[in-house]
Amino acid sequence: MAEGTLSVTDSRTGARYELPITASTVRAMDLRQIRTDPDEFGLMSYDPGYTNTAACTSRVAYLDGARGVLRYRGYPIEDLAKNCTYTEVAHLLMRGHLPTSAELHGWDNELAAEMRLPPGLPDLIETFPAGAHPMVMLASTVAALGTYYPDGRHVTDTACRHRQRLRLLAKIPLIAALIYRRTRRYSRSEPRPDLGYAGNFLHMLWQGTSRQLGPQDLKVLAKALDALLVLHAEHEQNCSTSTMRQVASSEADPYVSLAAAVAALSGPLHGGANERVLQMLDEIGSTAGIPAFMRSVKAGERRMMGFGHRVYKNYDPRARVLQDFAEQVFETTGKNPKIALAVELERIALQDDYFVRRKLYPNVDFYSGIIYEAMGFPPEMFTVLFAIGRVAGWLTHWDESMADPERRIARPRQIYRGPGITAFVPIEARGRDYAEERPAAPVSSHGSVPSHRSL
Ligand code: SDX
């Protein structure tokens, strides 16, 4: 139901158009009617990085970037992180409601029953170079997991989708733990589903090593990890979730689609930032190093990792929860001295006009790495931890997109800037200087290359 119309006058023709406005949005396809000639393609919108383009509707997460608000299916993230286990929140995201105790018990049992890996997968992980980045190993192994479940290709079948969701949610932490052990050349460990979702992961990481946790420490750190996984579980159309949707839109199976999402998350501008924050703090060294670092940021020589966000132009609510949460974790792990440097760096940045003018605030990655490091994780595992949490969000959006009646294969358009039609020259006629002699793209009267469109 339109809430109004956008009145548009095309100055090239004087024609007027009324574009319906629904949910404060106009449909891009409504622009196509605006043309100077009936045979023309019509107008498109141009939006590199999709800074102002809605690609879908969704009922999962709500973000208010101006106010720093994040809700999963209506629940404020602060309440969920404080009160829920990760599997409880995964149930909320994937099944649409917070579970009763009986439902959560059943859900945890279903996940426990899937906490095992096909025998060939640990073998595959042990073929990777021990020095490879864990995110590359994770993307490869998740894709390989799909080779054991060919039924995963029945993506339009709801029951089949839900079977794959359960498998992936249950198995990803096991894969992540074995990948970590590969980087340390530890022998493979076996799952202990009785320890719960986060507890089993921590057990599998360090079982049989000098880091093995006693029952009390394992319980405390599992609770802390649960909260961290909740905070990373979902964040609407971020780069990796929209990648999951985009790959899945071709009806690819969820294993290769999720591998693509892992790949997208690994980039330092996205989930890879948490690892870069620690490197940045190590480079700054102490508060004495902050002025020189800030100068380099403001000179455009580098970015303050863990700062800024495409949506949040206020404090990322997760960063606020994490800063408070860090002190709780440090009571068990001992304080990470880098927290003081991070807090001072934040304080100085939030008073600096460069950051204030650009509305750059700490995001989820600014404090998470400091907590992960205090818990004993090496920096190269930080983004894997982010991925474990985000699996619930990726799978929720996959399922939602496959059930969406408006679903179509994702296929954006482009503005063509290449040469016009070019006469073919047989290879024997292409002299040494052929590349230089090639006709340059035709330039229109006002100097720019006329834009053509694939029609
Ligand atoms: C995540 O999308 C999500 O929801 C992601 C996420 C999730 O949960 O899935 O929240 C997780 O990815 C958090 C973001 C983690 N990345 C980082 O911390 C890397 C550092 N931050 C950035 O590179 C940047 O802020 C982005 C990538 C997060 C956002 O980039 P945008 O929206 O494309 O912003 P931009 O690059 O256009 O920057 C606008 C201006 C520029 O300055 P001017 O050209 O206007 O002079 O702000 C500057 C940028 O140079 N800027 C920064 C900065 N981030 C933006 N300057 C210094 N340090 C920074 N971190």
What number is the average pLDDT over the span 340-348? Answer: 97
What pLDDT is attached to residue 450? 46
State the DSSP code for 272.
T
DSSP for 414-432 reads --B-S--------GGG--T
The pairing of beta strand 16-21 with beta strand 61-64? unpaired
The answer, yes or no, to whether residue 453 has pLDDT greater than 70, is: no
By C-alpha distance, which of 80, 112, 82, 106 is closest to 93? 80
Q: Ligand 1 pocket: which of 360, 366, 368, 385 to mutate (most atoms <8 Å of CB)?
A: 360
What pLDDT is attached to residue 454? 55
Sequence-distant (6+) residues with CB within 8 A of 136 are: 266
Give 48-97 pLDDT, tens digit per residue.
999 999 999 999 999 999 999 999 999 999 999 999 999 999 999 999 99
By C-alpha distance, which of 333, 393, 390, 348 is closest to 365? 390
The answer, yes or no, to whether residue 445 has pLDDT greater than 50, is: no
The answer, yes or no, to whether residue 452 has pLDDT greater than 80, is: no
Of all residues in the chain, the percent with pLDDT exceeding 70 is 96
- Looking up tokens 């807090």, which residue turns up? 343
Of all residues in the chain, the percent with pLDDT exceeding 90 is 93
Q: Ligand 1 pocket: which of 265, 276, 303 to mutate (most atoms <8 Å of CB)?
A: 303
- The pLDDT-based confidence of 439 (bands split at 50, 70, 90) is low
- The pLDDT-based confidence of 434 (bands split at 50, 70, 90) is confident
Ligand 1 neighbourhood includes 99 CB (under 6 angstroms): no
If you average pLDDT over every residue of the chain, what do you get? 94
- For 163-172, 316-325, 356-365, 430-439, which range has the lowest pLDDT when averaged over its residues? 430-439
Query: Ligand 1 atom 9: the closest Cα is on which residue?
Result: 238
Please tell me the total number of residues recorded for the chain in this structure. 455
What number is the average pLDDT over the span 288-313? Answer: 96
> Do 266 and 133 contact (CB within 8 A), yes or no?
yes
Give 187-216 pLDDT, tens digit per residue.
999 999 999 999 999 999 999 999 999 999
What number is the average pLDDT over the span 394-406? Answer: 98
Structural tokens at position 435? 């590349």
Catalytic residue (one of 91, 133, 203, 309)? 309
Structural tokens at position 100? 């009763």
What pLDDT is attached to residue 317? 97
Structural tokens at position 227? 């909260």
Give 274-289 pLDDT, tens digit per residue.
999 999 999 999 999 9
Quote the ligand 1 centre to 270 CA distance (angstroms).
9
Give 164-179 pLDDT, tens digit per residue.
999 999 999 999 999 9
Quote the ligand 1 centre to 54 CA distance (angstroms).
19
Residue 300 Cα: closest atom of ligand 1: 50
Q: Cα separation of 287 and 389, whole Å?
A: 32
What number is the average pLDDT over the span 123-130? Answer: 98
- Report yes or no on whether pTM surpasses 0.85: yes
**DSSP-assigned beta bridge partners for residue 71:** 62, 76
Query: Ligand 1 atom 51: the closest Cα is on which residue?
Result: 308
Distances (CA, A) of 365 to 307, 331, 358, 370: 8, 21, 18, 9
Q: Catalytic: 91? A: no
Structural tokens at position 359? 């509305």
- Residue 374 C-beta-side C-alpha neighbours within 13 Å: 23
Residue 232 Cα: closest atom of ligand 1: 8
Query: Ligand 1 atom 39: the closest Cα is on which residue?
Result: 358
Ligand 1 neighbourhood includes 63 CB (under 6 angstroms): no
- The pLDDT-based confidence of 441 (bands split at 50, 70, 90) is low
Quote the ligand 1 centre to 179 CA distance (angstroms).
29
What pLDDT is attached to residue 435? 78
Q: Ligand 1 pocket: which of 231, 310, 396 to mutate (most atoms <8 Å of CB)?
A: 310
The answer, yes or no, to whether residue 436 has pLDDT greater than 80, is: no
Structural tokens at position 391? 């699996």
What pLDDT is attached to residue 345? 97
Give 234-250 pLDDT, tens digit per residue.
999 999 999 999 999 99
The answer, yes or no, to whether residue 442 has pLDDT greater than 70, is: no
What number is the average pLDDT over the span 107-121? Answer: 98
Quote the ligand 1 centre to 310 CA distance (angstroms).
6
Catalytic residue (one of 270, 352, 404, 452)? 270
Structural tokens at position 364? 């989820």
Ligand 1 neighbourhood includes 363 CB (under 6 angstroms): yes
Ligand 1 neighbourhood includes 310 CB (under 6 angstroms): yes
The answer, yes or no, to whether residue 446 has pLDDT greater than 80, is: no
Structural tokens at position 387? 């991925």
The answer, yes or no, to whether residue 449 has pLDDT greater than 60, is: no
What pLDDT is attached to residue 101? 98
Give 388-397 pLDDT, tens digit per residue.
999 999 999 9
Q: What are phi and psi of 152, to 5 degrees?
A: -65, -15
What pLDDT is attached to residue 440? 55
Q: What domains are there in the chain, each with its CATH number?
A: 4-50 (no CATH), 65-272+391-402 (1.10.580.10), 279-370 (1.10.230.10)
What pLDDT is attached to residue 438? 62
Name the residue with higher pLDDT: 435 or 181.
181
Q: Catalytic: 235? A: no
By C-alpha distance, which of 211, 173, 209, 214 is closest to 191? 173
Query: Ligand 1 atom 12: the closest Cα is on which residue?
Result: 270
Q: Catalytic: 194? A: no
216: exposed, middle or buried (Cβ count in 10 Å: 0-12, 13-18, 19+) = exposed
What pLDDT is attached to residue 437? 66
Ligand 1 neighbourhood includes 203 CB (under 6 angstroms): no
Angle, vertex CA 332, rays to CA 328 and CA 337, nearest 5: 75
Query: Ligand 1 atom 13: the closest Cα is on which residue?
Result: 270
